[in-house]
Chains A and B, each alone.
Chain A
């Protein structure tokens, strides 16, 4: 019996030690915590001054291509010759290794891509392998595609570093490789397609708040989770802009993308601070829950940064919010198919195909609201004029 008791005591002691250690975490690692003094004191390790300035520059650059088809536009392209891949006669077999379709953004995007393929009768076969967000599955998916006589291979990598060797191997197989969304650390793909990027996304929201909220205003920043480079870039840019402003960042919290948690966090901050003057978010999935927290507490909804999902846009219009919606446009899923056909035609494509990254603002939000679309549909899909619209997206 004494042994059991000693054991139990040891467990309890260990628990106490653990509690002691973990309570020191926020002090040691300010950017990850809710420590109020953290945001303006430190610069994120994900901040890259050169890339930040490049992306902010892209925002003002005039894109080439048709203005009514932003998915065909390109910003400051450096064209490369593709005659070596020219294959006349159509009857193309297009292959696609997809990282995942595990969130509404990828779902809308993938639907759009499938519809884009239908627009081109010269594509007679479209093989898709879904890696289900697993690096190892995507590596074997890409290997498998390399042996399936694809005329072009499109890859949306799950993660950057791990997938790089697999993409290099696919390049060596001979067919032109097109990478989009997330990048890889190799320039062997014929083209890498992506919107301007995370720094621009984060900056758009942060700049809006510096304009809309008076000096000294209290800003709550809501992030999904730490460590994901796309999301870290968004926050790094916002952090940079906030630290140079007179705004008071009262908290930086992680929501896990969970609506209930978001609502609780926002309610706590309303109580703790008495007033919140602006909310910055690194992604809009829980924006509606955050707005509801203000409504349910009987407080006026402050300036908000959301995204282009229908539920938020509808609320924005219906409630007359002061808001902005940076976008990571889902229309980029059309571009790889278009690029593949250009390459197989021997036409030039940019080695880095930077797509415009529009922002939904107070003045044009009305035109993006589509009442009959699902609440999690992304407005910037560039799909409204496609023949099958809207059924496949519902």
Chain B
């Protein structure tokens, strides 16, 4: 068996390793496994969101609704559980089902009504924001149970590694499943849809179904992220604010082409971890938190510029020697 990195994975891995080395130098906590597990635990929700966002972006769309969906998920969970341990299980299912439903609606409107996904999901963001506000009157009510919070807060004893947070285990399962999925026929067709949907359609692929699937996966993964974030930090009506842009930044940082057709899911996830590691590093170095959004903006622009510049330069360097021969 040969481990082969998908195209575009290498640069983000270099960035990630550099950041992790930086963390090891800057923070005394990062000289042990626990420090990195804590970082992974904190990054897990964003990494899961990035996986969902990857599916949508690689197939040629955008999902701007995930941040609002996370907020809605946490607020709904708190209201429904209202501190009762016994309600935990069905509320988790309810939150996941809600994510699935939102993804389904996004996908159906984008594919059947032919509204650009940017607009559909922007609309969904506003609808969810408004609905949450209307329902809560601006302040979330109820409380999450200890059982619900375990997924984002608790950990389990694993041999060799020690205490591993549940959220890290959940992330690993999702990441492995996503990587396997992208190597399957459906996964390849999804990328091809982003590259050239007419070609996929002509060769018998069902473009609408593939795109719908991407939105549904994004919605469900946003619900998972909501469960982890609610568990990590508790009830808040601000929990999902700006997460959609963080997820998009992460995916772009992972070298995934905006507009679809190129990029790997592992790289997108590594992009999310890099982003979180970067913010942690900036904080450890004492750089103002206000810089976070500026840094995010620079990353988006620089990564897209790099992607636009990259292949052509490579193209030229491989061609240029030819005439001189």
**Chain A residues with a Cβ under 8 A of chain B:** 1, 4-5, 8-9, 11-12, 14-16, 18-19, 22-23, 25-26, 32-36, 100-104, 106-107, 251, 253-254, 256-265, 267-268, 271-272, 274, 286, 288-289, 292, 296-297, 311, 374-376, 394
Contact = CB atoms under 8 A, between A and B. Distances in A.
Given A12-B306, A256-B238, A274 B28 contact: yes
Contacts of A35: 286, 288
A8 B302 contact: no
A296 B153 contact: yes
A374 B305 contact: no
A356 B302 CA distance: 54
B57 to A, nearest CB: 20
Nearest to A255: B289
A107 B138 contact: yes
Contact of B235 (A106, A256, A375): A375
B141 A376 contact: yes
B38 interface: yes
A25 B290 contact: yes
A263 B233 CA distance: 7
A4 B308 contact: yes
B301 interface: yes
Q: Tell me what chain B mostly uses at the interface: helix, strand, loop, or mixed.
A: helix
A59 B145 CA distance: 39
Interface string B226-258: 000100111110110100000000000000000
Contacts of B306: 12
A5 B309 contact: yes
A288 B234 contact: yes
Interface of B: 27-29, 35, 38, 42, 133, 137-143, 153, 229, 232-236, 238-239, 241, 279-280, 283-284, 286-291, 294-295, 297-298, 301-302, 305-306, 308-309, 312
Determine chain A's interface SS by DSSP, over half rule. helix
Given A22-B294, A102-B139, A260-B232, 19 more contacts: A1-B312, A5-B309, A8-B309, A9-B309, A12-B301, A19-B298, A34-B283, A34-B286, A34-B287, A34-B288, A107-B137, A258-B236, A258-B239, A260-B233, A264-B42, A271-B27, A271-B35, A374-B142, A374-B143
6 contacts: A4-B308, A251-B286, A286-B236, A292-B233, A297-B38, A374-B141
B239 A259 contact: yes
Given A15-B301, A18-B298, A34-B289, A258 B241 contact: yes
B287 A106 contact: no
B283 A100 contact: no
B280 A107 contact: no
A253 B289 contact: yes
B35 A102 contact: no
Contact of B288 (A26, A256, A264, A297): A26
A15 B140 CA distance: 39
Contact of B233 (A1, A8, A251, A289): A289
A254 B287 CA distance: 12
Nearest to A225: B290
Contacts of A286: 236
Contacts of A376: 139-141, 235
Contacts of A9: 305, 309
A383 to B, nearest CB: 16
A26 B138 contact: no
Given A18-B298, A260-B233, A272-B27, A254 B141 contact: no
Nearest to A106: B138
A40 to B, nearest CB: 15
A264 B309 CA distance: 36
Contacts of B140: 376
